[in-house]
Amino acid sequence: MSSSWLLIAFLVFLLILLIKNIRIVPQAQCYILERLGAYQATWEVGLHVKIPLVDKVANKVSMKENVIDFDPQPVITKDNVTMQIDTVVYYAITDPKLFTYGVDRPISAIENLTATTLRNIIGELELDETLTSRDLINTKMRSILDEATDPWGIKVNRVEVKNILPPEDIQNAMEKQMRAERERRESILRAEGEKKSAVLLAEGRKEAAILDAEAGKQAAILTAEAAKEAAIREAEGEAEAIMQVQQATAKGLAMLKQAAADDAVVKLKSLEALAKVADGQSTKIIIPSEIQNLAGLVTSLKEVSN
């Protein structure tokens, strides 16, 4: 009876020991397995069983991309300006074995390597170049760190300069310079606006003068055309009047001819015309002899009738 209990207890112990040595590796992780203190294998995603008391899991490595935000590091530029720069490093583990056995405390190693690389790069740049060359700094640091961490099984994907903090007096000088630059740009923009406004006003006056000149020219043309038309109509009226006078004269002559007027009638008409001439302002009148005889004849006829 006791032997059966011992067998059952032994089987239970083996079952518990087997269960405790079963490992399930989750997604995006790798386990480093050591056997008797030496590297044995790298377990990837799935179910694994290790030998009790012989094998052990030495390290659990995450294969995800990791981010390290380092504290600001004091660096000195080429023109001897000390500033604080903090960086962010994005890395991923490509070889869990190298990551486990390649370097002791790999995160601390990356931090120190980042600090020294940053000092070397900034030492070759002046202050203005440092403030405007973030992309250049990021590219150089990523290249150097990626090459240096390759034996550690680490791939540096990106390096970003997070903040660049110059000394306070440099910041005040930069703010004053930036304020002066903004004021200068504002003055230039205001001057350009006033210049454009003056040009537009001058162009407006020019166009107005051109329009006024064209309007005056058009008015003069219309006035000349009107005067020309009036002169033409006046000349036509005078010509019509002369024509009518000539026609009336011709009709009168025709009527005299039809009436068979003799010389006495003609002379009488001449006398009437002379009477009209005498009504003018002339002081001396020359009377033809024919009219004088006619005048005497008229006087004689008047006496006889009386």
23 touches 45 (CB < 8 A): no
The CA distance from 60 to 25, in Å, is 9
Residue 248, token pair as written in the block: 């009336």
Residue type, 45: V
Of 82, 83, 20, the closest CA to residue 56 belongs to 20
- Residue 95 backbone phi and psi in degrees, to 5: -135, 105
- Cα Dmax for the chain: 210
Banded model confidence at residue 103, pLDDT cuts 50, 70, 90: confident
pLDDT in tens, 171-211: 787 778 788 888 888 888 888 888 888 888 888 888 888 88
pLDDT in tens, 25-34: 999 899 999 9
pLDDT of residue 263: 56
The whole-angstrom separation of Cα 45 and Cα 27 is 6
Domain ranges of the chain: 2-62, 65-166, 194-260, 262-306
* The domain made up of 65-166 is a member of CATH 3.30.479.30: yes
Q: Does residue 86 contact residue 72 with C-beta atoms inside 8 Å?
A: yes
Residue-level length of the chain: 306
Whole-structure pTM value = 0.54
Question: 209 CB contacts (<8 Å, ≥6 apart)?
Answer: none
